[in-house]
Structure 1
């Protein structure tokens, strides 16, 4: 059985199974519980083992793979949109066709306006909305579900959101997506802006009706102070005042304004997004490493007794007596030799049949399974010590009902190799060919080898 690659995906599947049982009722989990008990570990590990087995059986593991593929496609679509959107911001700021003078503050607003608004929105969401990833995060979740194209994947999204609430992973995971998107968009804008300024001749000016020139001088030099520390040019006050209402033709003035624009975009656009993306990444990795199941939830508390019985949790209370009480020889003779590498078991045989046949020494007799309790005990023993080869004898005079076929499936998964022995009819009985065909069709659907020939030689040696 394929298993999820990371603890996060195992937690995700476990939470999905919990929600499914909470809303739709308990699942048929007898075999899953046996496997979880046999696998051992603490209660959290056993709950995960049970959930992964149920997810594989019910198709949720395949749905998770589809959802992850859909998430990857959604991420690629968002990244492509970021690249195109960033380039579009730069072209809108400078004009895709014109070479005339540019209002420098209109250009700056086109480059950083939407970025600053969304950044403020994310910070407000972080403070007041908890695990909010913003509209972009919700868009990615919606696209992931649509691209998955698997109806079973719809159960995964609510479980993911609940899981992301642990350790506040939602705010950091979706925050990483948001800041990564804007980091890529602003990088594309910076590269496009640099290409435009390197291949075209632009002049820059500013104009105002309400404000005076000193305000624009102070604003320009205040915004350019940090970029100037990184080596970007900063127009002097005389150049700023001379650029009012008309662009200067001097090359030094044009270069000073171009360098100032690039520096402001880098310092107030890319660097904040880069630092916030690194912060979100660090908090995401830290929270993910400390992620654990909340065993106090009612759905998990109900599983404690089934997966970790009280007798197992308490352990050994009294020391073993010096002399063990004797076991009657009859009990030893009737006890199935579960430790043998090969086992023969029969399912619901009529009392008129002589059973078991003469068995080779290396083949153990697991008895006849008639009751549910007998089935449970044998499956639990096989879960602890699975036989290498198992032959299951069935009476083809009976109909292949769903309960028997489900038992055959569980038995086959508890052994290395399994064969079904379709017993010949007793003397005086006539086998109905139509019913025998029903058995063959059902066993073929289960993928179980079957036949009427005795499997004892195969059980003993591993080959016919």
Structure 2
């Protein structure tokens, strides 16, 4: 399972891609976190918590998680009670056949434990059939047709299909066996306290010597942790007993029975449960920040940080006013097209083909465009008027192009910032990731042009 914070973050992603309306606008939260410190995962967690400001998403996730845990708890209690009642029924006689009871206690359990171990080794790296996913499917646990409920159900079902769930299922299976064995242990201790038992053993094929050897082998591990083991005389004396044994002998057999249940039943299951828990913690599902959705958010945050580091704004520099020469002109757009024809006439008065020889180069975007433009500038002494759309950010790649153009423009370079009103609106409506506010981008370009002493055309 994902952690609660990862679950909330994934649920926000699922709902945002479905154009869900949240309590708080995701764009505002994303912009607010631009300058905050923290790892990418921590910032994504804070973003999800901020978007879920009314806690509606958290409540739905908590409801599903609580019901799954409730089912597991109820099943553990039922298994514990069944183990207690089963052994309580088995130990109704006053004289108990020790080995018969021991086989009833640990026989099937041991077979299942060995089978799990063999299957784990054989199916290593493979995903087992996920019966648990169908048994506790979230669609059976919570009803609701709203977007949040449906997205939360889908999120939990994807988690249940994850490959790491095989270890969660192993942990759950061992937990049920531990509950059963614990119920049996409680029943044995309770009955040994309130009733007095005699223990015997019977065998047609095995001799006394064979049973003595078997008993000592069986009692070796319990004896290591302090449980009593019947001595040779007690073992021989307990064969075919129909009446009460001496109390000291009965206590030795009772101690061996309890010790065997602990050391050969509960202890191996506890080790298997701990092993599955450790492997599951390593292989459990985690937030995949490499998804395109998260990469767009992280790139936006990182790009803002890089720009701020490259162009430290101390006193908000202002670019110098552009001076239009009387010579030939070359007009070009940097990376983005413009919806306005002859856009250069907006900022520079009387700049038209009748008064100036103007060459419209078009858009300068890729490396081929740059090579073609530099070749033209090297062969023609012109002044370059470069139009920059309000979507363009002064990142390293854009500034590298700007510096190359300024170097090769023999009669100088001037810049005109194009404020296309339709651009910001469409970007805000059609993208999940916000761009920088126009005022911020304007000041960024002012800082860049001022540092390079490149004139800026006034569009007002």
The two structures have a TM-score, normalised by structure 1, of 0.56
Any gaps of 5 or more consecutive residues in structure 1? 1-5, 329-369, 386-464
- CA–CA distance in structure 1, aligned partners of residues 125 and 81 of structure 2: 28
Deviation at 1:67, TM superposition (A): 0.7
CA contact (8 A) 1:55 1:61 kept: yes
CA contact (8 A) 1:136 1:178 kept: no
1:185 correspondence with 2:180: yes
1:220 correspondence with 2:271: no
Q: 1:141 to 1:267 in 2, by over 3 A?
A: same
**DSSP 3-state at the match of 1:207:** coil
Matches within 5 A, 1:270-349: 270-278=266-274, 293-301=287-295, 303-305=297-299, 307-308=300-301, 310=303, 312-313=305-306, 315-317=308-310, 324-325=318-319
Residue among 208, 220, 224 paired with 2:203: 208
**DSSP 3-state at the match of 1:308:** helix
CA contact (8 A) 1:70 1:146 kept: no
Q: 1:38 to 1:320 in 2, by over 3 A?
A: closer
Residue among 107, 111, 119 paired with 1:117: 111
Q: 1:27 to 1:146 in 2, by over 3 A?
A: same
- 2:86 maps to 89
- CA–CA distance in structure 2, aligned partners of residues 292 and 135 of structure 1: 21
- 1:253 maps to 249
Matches within 5 A, 1:381-460: none
- 1:155 maps to 154
CA contact (8 A) 2:228 2:256 kept: yes
CA contact (8 A) 2:68 2:136 kept: no
Deviation at 1:261, TM superposition (A): 0.8
- 2:262 maps to 266
Q: Deviations over 1:329-357 (max 9, x none)?
A: xxxxxxxxxxxxxxxxxxxxxxxxxxxxx
1:373 correspondence with 2:372: no
1:104 correspondence with 2:104: no
Residue among 36, 61, 64 paired with 2:61: 64
Across the aligned residues of Structure 1 and Structure 2, the Cα RMSD in angstroms comes to 4.6
Deviation at 1:148, TM superposition (A): 3.9
Q: 1:56 to 1:78 in 2, by over 3 A?
A: farther
- CA–CA distance in structure 2, aligned partners of residues 232 and 104 of structure 1: 16
Deviation at 1:82, TM superposition (A): 2.7
Residue among 7, 11, 14 paired with 2:6: 11
Q: 1:46 to 1:174 in 2, by over 3 A?
A: same
Deviation at 1:318, TM superposition (A): 5.1
Larger Rg: 2
CA contact (8 A) 2:171 2:273 kept: yes
Q: 1:292 to 1:313 in 2, by over 3 A?
A: farther
- CA–CA distance in structure 1, aligned partners of residues 230 and 185 of structure 2: 20
Any gaps of 5 or more consecutive residues in structure 2? 323-420, 441-460
1:138 correspondence with 2:135: no
Q: Deviations over 1:296-322 (max 9, x none)?
A: 3455445544x4364545654356699
Q: Deviations over 1:83-130 (max 9, x none)?
A: 212202322432xxx324322222112222343234334434543445
- 2:382 maps to none
Deviation at 1:193, TM superposition (A): 0.7
- 2:372 maps to none
- CA–CA distance in structure 2, aligned partners of residues 198 and 133 of structure 1: 46
CA contact (8 A) 2:199 2:245 kept: no
Deviation at 1:325, TM superposition (A): 2.5
Aligned residues: 326
Q: 1:213 to 1:14 in 2, by over 3 A?
A: farther
Deviation at 1:189, TM superposition (A): 1.4
- CA–CA distance in structure 2, aligned partners of residues 319 and 117 of structure 1: 70
- CA–CA distance in structure 1, aligned partners of residues 40 and 274 of structure 2: 35
Deviation at 1:264, TM superposition (A): 0.7
The two structures have a TM-score, normalised by structure 2, of 0.56
Higher relative CO (CA 8 A, sep ≥ 6), structure 1 or 2? Answer: 2
CA contact (8 A) 1:137 1:177 kept: no
Q: 1:208 to 1:380 in 2, by over 3 A?
A: same
Q: Deviations over 1:393-438 (max 9, x none)?
A: xxxxxxxxxxxxxxxxxxxxxxxxxxxxxxxxxxxxxxxxxxxxxx
